[in-house]
């Protein structure tokens, strides 16, 4: 039986060293329970967003949890893998854009006001980090730029950062404020100072197969962030590095290890 107590001092269950746990987390903001897997019993809180499928089990299915298994077992990282509602927001063709953005904002409130407080309470740490690949990178970077005091770092792998791409160019306020390739150039004033003080963005991308669009958007976003003096690490891998999970698995392990070493 997996050990589970509501404190930062977790007990390691040697029959389940990764403390793998599936649940449907209730959410008042989201309006329904959210499918989620968690792994680890202590350590640095990491929220991982899936790609366009939106599935909570994605990081586990594609071997990322196994790649982080030593860090999880040692209590260096606690991993939260919630589903996203990407199929009713960014990739949806069933609702108008305004409705899709309202659903996206409901998901943001679930993460910021429900999941983050839980992760902080369970780990005893406030330095929550968000990561994601492809569309998941859009989620991760958006969260750090919009809520810099909440998320200490964001790491995006092979990101699709243009919200307007998913809305066929439609750009009302709801889309604009969730489209970092649009709003990043215009960040200013007190909110920009909060970003500079509280968070850090890492953009990772390869140069290989199926990476051309992501590399282009990564470079554009890096230029926008640099123009605003936002703390940034641009990490571009080689021409053999393709838009595939076996590369993201290596990149994720590389960047997580750097942060817990």
Token readout for 190 is 């007190």
Residue 13, pLDDT score: 57
Mean pLDDT rounded to a whole number for the chain: 92
pLDDT of residue 71: 97
* Across 109-134, average pLDDT: 98
Q: What's the pLDDT tens digit per position in 182-211?
A: 999 999 999 999 999 999 999 999 999 999
> What per-residue confidence (pLDDT) applies to 7?
34
Distance of CA 144 to the CA centre of its chain: 9
Distance from C-alpha of 234 to C-alpha of 95, rounded to nearest angstrom: 35
**What's the pLDDT tens digit per position in 160-173?**
999 888 888 787 88
- pLDDT tens for each residue of 34-86: 999 999 999 999 999 999 999 999 999 999 999 999 999 999 999 999 999 99
Pick from 6-10, 19-23, 158-162: least confident: 6-10
153-157, strands of its sheet edge to edge: 21-25, 34-39, 77-82, 44-49, 129-133, 153-157, 200-205, 232-236
Determine the 3-state secondary structure of 235 from DSSP: strand
Query: For the domain 21-260, what is the CATH code?
Result: 3.40.50.1820
List of residues 6+ apart from 186 with CB closer than 8 A: none
The pLDDT tens digits for 74-108 are 999 999 999 999 999 988 878 889 999 999 999 99
Alpha-carbon gap, residue 203 to 192, rounded angstroms:
19
Sketch the domain layout of the chain as residue ranges.
Answer: 21-260
């Amino acid at each position: 039986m997996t050990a589970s107590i509501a404190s930062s001092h977790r007990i390691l269950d040697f029959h389940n060293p990764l403390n793998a746990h599936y649940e449907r987390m209730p959410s008042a903001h989201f309006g329904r329970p959210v499918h989620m897997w968690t792994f680890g019993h202590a350590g640095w809180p990491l929220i991982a967003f899936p790609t366009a499928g939106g599935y909570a089990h994605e990081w586990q299915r594609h071997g990322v949890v196994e790649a982080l298994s030593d860090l999880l077992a040692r209590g260096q990282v606690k991993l939260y893998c919630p589903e996203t509602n990407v199929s009713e927001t960014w990739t949806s063709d069933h609702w108008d854009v305004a409705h899709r953005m309202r659903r996206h904002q409901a998901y943001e409130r679930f993460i910021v006001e429900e999941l983050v407080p839980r992760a902080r309470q369970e780990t005893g740490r406030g330095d929550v980090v968000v990561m994601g690949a492809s569309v998941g990178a859009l989620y991760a970077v958006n969260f750090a730029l919009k809520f810099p005091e909440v998320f200490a770092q964001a790491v995006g792998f092979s990101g699709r950062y243009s919200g307007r791409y998913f809305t066929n160019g439609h750009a009302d306020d709801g889309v604009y404020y969730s489209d970092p390739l649009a709003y990043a150039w215009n960040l200013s004033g007190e909110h920009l100072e909060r970003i500079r003080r509280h968070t850090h963005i890492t953009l990772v991308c390869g140069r290989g197969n199926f990476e051309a669009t992501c590399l282009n958007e990564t470079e554009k976003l890096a230029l926008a962030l640099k123009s605003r003096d936002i703390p940034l690490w641009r990490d571009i891998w080689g021409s053999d590095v393709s838009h595939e999970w076996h590369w993201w698995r290596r990149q994720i392990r590389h960047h997580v290890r750097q942060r817990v070493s």
